[in-house]
């Protein structure tokens, strides 16, 4: 019988393949229309790469609106720390495929209002499949922020994704045209 970890690994491979075949650059700027993002002072996002949903325009708009933008920096143990980013390419350093921010660690994770989360797929309960390192699950477990995953339209799936106890559910999911909020009271995990 296939373990949950094996199911997730197989599913990731399928999702990556499908994403590569369907990929078209799109915008998720409509996330900033949500009341959670409009009221936010501190928003954590990420620098997309490859076939991930493009975050350049949303990151630029967060800065243009005068909000504090945090980007993740991956630690040797695969955890994430957040760093304030001002939009300058001079304050980014390439690590593997990812452009990560240079600078001091942002120490006040409890003040983060919104986290924009990468995902390969999101199910109707707000469960997500990420890249598999567990980095975001660790970071999300330390914040009470509104957590919105971004995916392509076909990556909002209708069946339940396999989950493990450490997986963190999202508050919402965004496709290029929709924003779907999840009822957090119905979620069985913290």
Q: What is the pLDDT of residue 188?
A: 41
> CA gyration radius for the chain?
16
pLDDT recorded at residue 121 = 95
What are the structural domains, with CATH classification, of the chain? Answer: 4-166+173-183 (3.40.50.10420)
The tens-digit pLDDT sequence of the chain (190 residues) is 788 888 888 888 888 888 888 888 889 999 999 999 999 999 999 999 989 999 999 999 999 999 999 999 999 999 999 999 999 999 999 988 889 999 999 999 999 999 999 999 999 999 999 887 789 999 999 999 999 999 999 999 999 998 888 899 999 999 999 999 997 554 443 3
Report the candidate in 187, 75, 93 with the shortest Cα–Cα distance to residue 133.
Answer: 75
How far apart, in whole angstroms, are the C-alpha atoms of residue 140 and residue 183?
17
Measured between alpha carbons, how far is 20 from 27 in angstroms, rounded to an integer? 17
Please answer whether residues 45 and 55 qualify as being in contact, where contact means their C-beta atoms are separated by less than 8 angstroms: yes
Give bridge partners of residue 74 from the DSSP assignment.
80
Q: What is the pTM of this model?
A: 0.89
């Amino acid at each position: 019988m296939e373990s949950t970890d094996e199911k997730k690994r197989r599913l990731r491979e399928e999702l990556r393949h499908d994403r590569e075949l369907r990929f078209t650059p799109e915008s998720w700027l409509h996330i900033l229309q949500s009341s959670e993002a409009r009221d936010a002072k501190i928003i954590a996002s990420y620098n997309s790469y490859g076939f991930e949903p493009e975050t350049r325009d949303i990151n630029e708009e967060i800065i243009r609106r005068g909000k504090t933008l945090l980007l993740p920096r991956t630690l040797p143990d695969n955890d994430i720390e957040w760093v304030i980013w001002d939009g300058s390419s001079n304050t980014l350093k390439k690590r593997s495929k990812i452009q990560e921010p240079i600078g001091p660690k942002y120490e006040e994770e409890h003040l983060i209002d919104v986290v924009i989360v990468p995902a390969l797929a999101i199910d109707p309960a707000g469960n997500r499949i990420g890249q598999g390192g567990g980095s975001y699950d660790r970071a999300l477990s330390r914040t009470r922020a509104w957590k919105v995953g971004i995916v392509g339209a076909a990556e909002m799936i209708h069946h339940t994704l396999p989950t493990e106890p450490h997986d963190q559910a999202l508050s919402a999911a965004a496709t290029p045209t929709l924003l779907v909020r999840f009822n957090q009271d119905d979620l069985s995990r913290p």
